[in-house]
Amino acid sequence: MGNFLHVILHFFSEMFSWIVSGPLPLIITLCILAVFSILYFLARFLPYRKYPKNSKAILPGEILRAIKNFFVSLLILIVLYVLVALGTTIESYILKVTRLQELQTVYKNISQDYVLADVTVTDIISNPKGPVLAVKMEYYPYGDRKNSIATESFKIEGTSLYIDCMQYNFKYSLIETGANKNLAVPYRVFSNTIPASNGINLTPYAKDGIPYIFERTESNVWGIEPQVYRERIAELMHIMNDPLKSKKEGILRSSTGSALHFVAQKNKTYRIYVSQTGGLTLAQKADWM
């Protein structure tokens, strides 16, 4: 229906554009209207030519009627012109508003950062071999910036802490439409003096083996049916478990390890974010967060 209206609108818009494009088309249009008025006059008057007395009586009235018809049809044409102009203007507004809404959705989706985890150095213990960092990690489900759902603590030698994560960055088109979100899972920690292969493995998974980022809480349920959500998680786990295949299929843009690190300071909390434009970022967590 929308397409049909668009075609009609476009046809009349082109027609009126032609009419007002110059004096000649305008004159032609007026002549066409005049011809129709004359034809109408003839259609009404000619049957009376067999009766000369009657035809003389009705002639002035019919002439007036023909002139009136000409002006009425001209008025109808003007009204139609206004309606078509209104229609094309409204159509243009609808297109612009639709485009604006699309852009707002894209901007909202790609400017989003999701909290992955908070990392706090709770203590820096002196040691003859070098300082030992006591660390607490808090995991968050996607969409929840306030309530962590699991905590893990450990100790490691060093002065800088490295939080190693696997990151999965989807194609821009999937992020823009909201079909997917870039994902990450922290999996080990090491330090400036402890190489990654000797690091500590993390457990960012719930008992069912699903990463904490996929946990559903009151604040991130979003009205999705549980069954639909489970299917969606299964699909994402499949992508995460076979990233090479997902890259070949063009679903993932990149998947690499990313070890965010910072110089340890006691009781300072750092927050790891998953950026929807790609990659991971780190920022000190403000007290009010």
Residues 164-183 binding another protein (CB under 8 A) are 166-167, 169, 172
Candidates 31-39, 82-90, 138-146, 205-213; binding stretch for another protein (CB under 8 A) = 82-90
Q: Is 28 left (phi over 0), alpha (psi -120 to 50) or beta?
A: alpha
Alpha carbon distance 153, 56 (integer Å): 111
Please pick, from the candidates 38, 46, 86, 224, the single residue that binds another protein as defined by CB under 8 A: 86
By CB under 8 A, residue 106 contacts another protein: yes
Only one of the segments 17-25, 35-43, 53-61, 246-254 lies at the binding site for another protein (rule: CB under 8 A); that segment is 246-254
Q: How far is the CB of 184 from another protein (least distance, A)?
A: 10
Question: 202-231: which residues touch another protein (CB under 8 A)?
Answer: none
C-alpha–C-alpha distance, residues 36 and 79, integer Å: 18
Binding of another protein at residue 196 (CB under 8 A)?
A: yes
CB of 89 to another protein, least distance (A): 6
Task: Write out the binding residues for another protein, residues 6-45 only, by CB under 8 A.
Answer: none
| Nearest to another protein of 66, 202 (CB atom) | 202
Would you state the structure tokens that stand for residue 92, as one six-digit string?
């243009």
Window of 90-98, 148-156, 213-221, 229-237 that interacts with another protein by CB under 8 A: 90-98
* # residues near another protein by CB under 8 A: 55
Binding site for another protein (CB under 8 A): 82, 85-86, 89, 92-93, 96-97, 99-100, 103-104, 106-107, 110-111, 113, 160, 162, 166-167, 169, 172, 190-197, 243-244, 247, 253-263, 270, 275, 277-284
